[in-house]
Structure 1
Amino acid sequence: MAGVTRRRAQTRERLVEAAYEVFAEFGIRDAPVELICERAGFTRGAFYSNFASKEQLFLAVHEVQAQERVDRLRTAVASAINNADIADPDVATRVLRHTGELFMAALASDRTWYQLNVEFSAQALRQDELRPLTAAADERFQEALAEILVDTLAKLGRRLTVDVDSAVLTIIALYEATLKRAILRGADDRHYVTEVLPRLFAALIVPAEEETR
């Protein structure tokens, strides 16, 4: 039984990896299921024994890609903190700037991921059955980011003056705007994440012991 479960997990993993490649090439709507199966080395039967539709497969892709970005952010934050002077009154801003610089190193792959997310979100806005699934996927990602943000500020002896959900939405909105601008204009405007965002957050961060006014 364990062998069957392991093989099934491996099948899903290969289908998810192949799907990301094919989605990136053709878009989600036009991606042929046959090509996804061919890239993964399986038949259509293997596809439909694991996923009911391309939309369900994309949500599995979303889970994997989101986790990769969460892991990448954790690594960037850890590196930034290790190189920070906690006694520096501007330490939070410096850590956020350093984190942004490290995270933006994978800008090219994130452009592709952003395009796929926009396409799927547009589809979800039109299809009632996709909305709760898409919202749940987004919420899991945002919760992971919120955990990283709160933990990072605690290590720096800082806290937010706004609720963490609003702070995370601000980060995501600015990052997505950066990706959109890069795609439409062909310009690498990463300074919005590495410079503007840290300065913006400086106004939303205070020492942990400071009273809310």
Structure 2
Amino acid sequence: MTWITRALALLALLASPLAAQDAIADSPEPRTELVVLETTLGEITLALEVERAPITAANFLRYVDEKRLDGTVFYRAMRLDWGDQPNGLVQAGTQMHPDRILPPIAHEPTSVTGILHKAGTISMARYEPGTATGDFSIMISDQPGFDARPDSSDPGQHDGFAAFGHVVSGMEVVRAIFDAPTDPEKGEGWMKGQMLADPVRIVKARRAN
């Protein structure tokens, strides 16, 4: 190898970290699609991660486009009494109504999508992985316990829940739903006492213009 070749190789090594940084800086943000939920307490605008969580986001958009969420409600406020307050989530959707639900979708774990359960994140409700249909939750606070942990010794934590977007405006509406009174007699099992006494109606859900 001549001294010129060596010099060129050294320059390439020195320049590569800067080139990599420039490439990262110039890379576009993952594509999202905006959806507005018009509720009786105000509007909530969501950015759905159609690029990073394509299956889950497309499922939600189908519910929106087919007007299957119109007239559904926010029916649950899960309030956790530990950690920084407020702590918990609100839940809404089709509640397995036979005229509204679509077939279940494949599970997209956070370990694949990279979308973590932070405050304002929207995530699919489910029973077992692969059973999500038309119910969803919005995080009031960070919920790392909902993220997938494939290396956990607890098999129940391997898959986590499928996060697929976040609130871009209207968190004050989400908080108002969270703060609405619950009925201590409504709900079953560990969800008893988490159901809103007067569910908050989703008047309509539409893609933003």
Is the TM-score greater than 0.5? no
Structure having greater relative contact order (Cα 8 Å, sep ≥ 6): 2
Bigger radius of gyration among the two: 2
Which structure has greater helix proportion? 1
> With structure 1 as the length reference, what TM-score do the two structures score?
0.21
> With structure 2 as the length reference, what TM-score do the two structures score?
0.21
